[in-house]
Amino acid sequence: PLGAAAGYGTSWPLDRQAAARSLGFDGIQENSLDCMSSRGEMEARCVADLAFAANHLSLLAQDLVMWSMPWIGFITFDDRHVTGSSIMPQKRNPDFAEATRAKAAVVHGMLQSLLALNKGLVSGYNRDAQWSKFLVMDAFEELQDAPLIVSEVLDSLTVHAARMAEATRHDFLVAVDLADLIARKAGVPFRKSYEIVAQLVRECEREGQFTLSKVGRALAIHGLEGKISTAEVSAAIEPAGAVKARWTLGGPSPGAVKCNLARLEQQARSLARWNARRRRAIEMARRKMIEQIRKAMMNDE
């Protein structure tokens, strides 16, 4: 917006494009009134991105807290990432997670403040906008350490894989996979396969999981015997096999996850290169500007 004056331009022969280049910008916001009236939008967009990032960190933190509960026991945090209770000797408080959730709420409040700052102003420059810069700086400061801390937690926590695997064998987690298999291989409508599996769940409640014998008997009752092999049924009702079968783009199968990670790593490298280019461009612009100022001062002498 430099050169827009207070929103209504200026009679001085300014080269706004040159000013933008000297400061490392790609271009200018052209309309002088609009760029002054909307000056808070850039800050709001920036903090909105921080708020979305904070949401993801908060969601992950809450999942980690839940998985660490003693009655779930999927993970254990490293001692350096928990604190004791002031009254309960056995307690291990996941302070990092609770602080992460709180930070997300604080950044949300800053975003709301930025949006409110720009609401109801008259066109042109308003001193209300002076407060937007403080909110942006505070938002960055509030969140800057959170990704690093969560990353340290993930690197150091203990995963109880056997407990996780054991938990998958309860509550018929593979019921959808079995229904999908019956619909796909036996050629029946999904509504029908759904009903077959729902009945199977009721029959297998005592065992707590599907058995090959009861699945085979259910298929025979519905005239589907021989249309699905025992090996296919076994793979469908095995949790590891159910995960492996979800190979679609972005799915949780090992192969799909590896491909997803490779793409994310490529995107991260691309963003890092872009960031490095922008930093170099800004630094070069700064040096050129300093040199131009130096020459101008020498000419004045």
Nearest in space to 26 (alpha carbons), one of 275, 289, 287, 282 = 282
pLDDT tens digit sequence for 4-24? 787 788 888 888 888 888 888
Convert the pLDDT of each residue in 246-294 to its tens digit: 999 999 999 999 999 999 999 999 999 999 999 999 999 999 889 888 8
Q: Angle at Cα 230 formed by Cα 226 and Cα 235, nearest 5°?
A: 135
- For 127, left (φ over 0), alpha (ψ -120 to 50), or beta? alpha
> Residue 176 burial (CB < 10 Å; 0-12/13-18/19+)?
middle
- The string of pLDDT tens digits covering residues 20-71 is 888 888 888 888 888 878 878 889 999 999 999 999 999 999 999 999 999 9
The CB density around residue 32, as the number of other CB atoms within 10 Å, is 20
Question: Cα–chain-centroid distance for residue 76?
Answer: 23
Planar angle of CA 196, 202, 207, nearest 5 degrees: 115
Instruction: Please give the structure tokens belonging to residue 79.
Output: 């001692």
Q: How far apart, in whole angstroms, are the C-alpha atoms of residue 37 and residue 129? A: 9
For residue 56, the one-letter residue type is: H
- Length of the chain (residues): 301
Q: In degrees to the nearest 10, what's the CA dihedral of 160, 165, 171, 174?
A: 140
Model confidence pLDDT, tens digit, residues 194-222: 999 999 999 998 888 898 999 999 999 99
Q: Dump pLDDT digits (tens) for 141-175.
A: 999 999 999 999 999 999 999 999 999 988 899 99
Q: Which of 146, 158, 51 is nearest to 99 (CA)?
A: 146
User: What does the alpha-carbon distance between residue 251 and residue 270 come to, in Å, rounded to a whole number?
Assistant: 23
Please, what is the angle between helix 39-68 and helix 146-156, to 10°? Answer: 20
pLDDT at residue 230 in the model: 92
Q: How far is CA 157 from CA 71, 81, 109, in A?
A: 17, 9, 31
pLDDT, one tens digit per residue, over 77-98 is 999 999 888 888 888 889 999 9
Backbone dihedral angles phi then psi of residue 159, each to the nearest 5 degrees: -100, 125
- CA triplet 116, 120, 126: central angle to 5 degrees? 90
Burial 46-61 (b: 16+ CB within 10 A, else e): bbbebbeebeebbeeb
Partners of 76 in the β-ladder: 158
Look at residue 26 and give its three-state secondary structure. Answer: coil
- pTM for the predicted model, two decimal places: 0.83
Which carries the bigger pLDDT value, residue 106 or residue 25?
106
Report the distance separating Cα 43 and Cα 46, nearest Å: 5
Close Cβ partners of 196 (under 8 Å, ≥ 6 residues apart): 179, 182, 218, 219, 222
